[in-house]
Structure 1
Amino acid sequence: MKKTILTVEDGDGIRRLIRMTLEYMGFLVLEANGGEQGLEMAREHKPDLVLMDVRMPGVSGLTACEVMRADPQLRNVPVVMLSAADSEDDISAGLASGAKAYLVKPFQPVELIELVTRLIDEAAQPESASAGVVHR
């Protein structure tokens, strides 16, 4: 069965790049253009992983991730924060919100594939509790 990735990103171009990259690798990709829509879609579809932009109008990625961590049905879904903000404070805030990883834009498609694949594999093994991963 195909693994489902939910991309929550307000930028059309980056959403398209992510979709094309992950669909090529055999993933089913769902797309939301903001945090509120992303939370609704996460509740409805229960994805295997969420890629979440940090800065979006309305509900930010940090807030959406915190809401997911508080939801019993979504708390174990791995979240990867996506952002061009690469300061230590930004990264710390992303990981503190409950994200499993923080991927700095721009990133290479191969980085995205490796990270998504690893986190989905780890999520299938409940005893694994890896520390947050940062890709710059």
Structure 2
Amino acid sequence: MGKGTILVVDDEEDIQELVELHLVREGYDVCTAGSGEEALEVAQAKQPALTILDLMLPGIDGLQVCQILKANPKTRQMPVIMLTAKSEESDVVTGLELGADDYITKPFSSKVLVARVRRVLRKTADRDSDEGVIQIHDLRIDSTRCEVLLKGKALSLTFSEFNILRVLARRPGVVFTRYQIVDSLHGGNYIVSERAVDVQIAYLRKKLGDCKDYIETVRGVGYRFKDSPS
């Protein structure tokens, strides 16, 4: 029995074939796309378990594809691994902000790629098995719908903001370092700076409005979620 279907998006056929070869060896089914437009069509039709997405594509680029996938209710829960030759921190942060779950830089190790695929799929399965709804006073976090309601009104959060809030709210009172926050969302070995976490927390607090003090800064350590904003 197969382990699920993975969509590989890259405009270089040799990269497609290489990635497909190693994934098939591991028991995955693979479908491919050579452009952003084709990737969106295949993702809708096949509903793959995961997408490996090159950022530099003809037409719609990978970042736009990721943004569209995460905005679509039918595909927003599908994990995305960026496969990119662009390794600058700004590119990685942008991709993660748009909802990507991991990234791999070219040239890449086939063993590392397969390990990252396994890890992301395992984390997705763990996430789906979590208790679906967290309710704390006026704040309701629904993991199954990727939805946050504050006093009954839906908040417009980015994928990263939602997941930071969910991670903190699941364990009120526990202090998370910035590294632990990044690791809980994406895994280790990331080059995302601590400053990037601070920026996301600042945006999240602004959107929480009167409840911004639910997220408390622990000076010199990190952040924790309080069960009351007062």
Which of 1 and 2 has higher RCO (CA within 8 Å, sep 6+)? 1
Aligned 8 A contact 1:104 1:135 in 2: no
Output aligned runs, 1:47-66, within 5 Å.
Answer: 47-66=48-67
How far apart, CA to CA, are the structure 1 residues paired with 2:48 and 2:6?
6
The aligned amino acid for 1:123 is T
The aligned amino acid for 1:131 is L
Instruction: Go from structure 1 to structure 2 and tell me whether the alpha carbon gap of 1:104 and 1:135 turns closer, same or farther (over 3 Å shift).
Output: farther
What is the Cα deviation at residue 135 of structure 1?
A: 6.6
How far apart, CA to CA, are the structure 1 residues paired with 2:70 and 2:78?
8
Under a length normalisation based on structure 1, what TM-score does the superposition of the two structures give? 0.93
Runs of 4+ in 1 over 2 A off after TM superposition: 127-130, 132-136
Under a length normalisation based on structure 2, what TM-score does the superposition of the two structures give? 0.56
Gaps of 5+ in 2: 131-142, 144-162, 164-183, 192-230
Output aligned runs, 1:19-98, within 5 Å.
Answer: 19-98=20-99
Aligned 8 A contact 1:81 1:99 in 2: yes
Aligned 8 A contact 1:103 1:135 in 2: no
How far apart, CA to CA, are the structure 2 residues paired with 1:132 and 1:95?
9
Larger radius of gyration: 2
How far apart, CA to CA, are the structure 2 residues paired with 1:22 and 1:50?
12
Aligned 8 A contact 1:69 1:76 in 2: yes
- The Cα RMSD (Å) is 1.7
Tell me what 2:186 maps to. 132
Gaps of 5+ in 1: none
Percent of aligned pairs with the same amino acid: 36
The number of equivalent residue pairs is 136
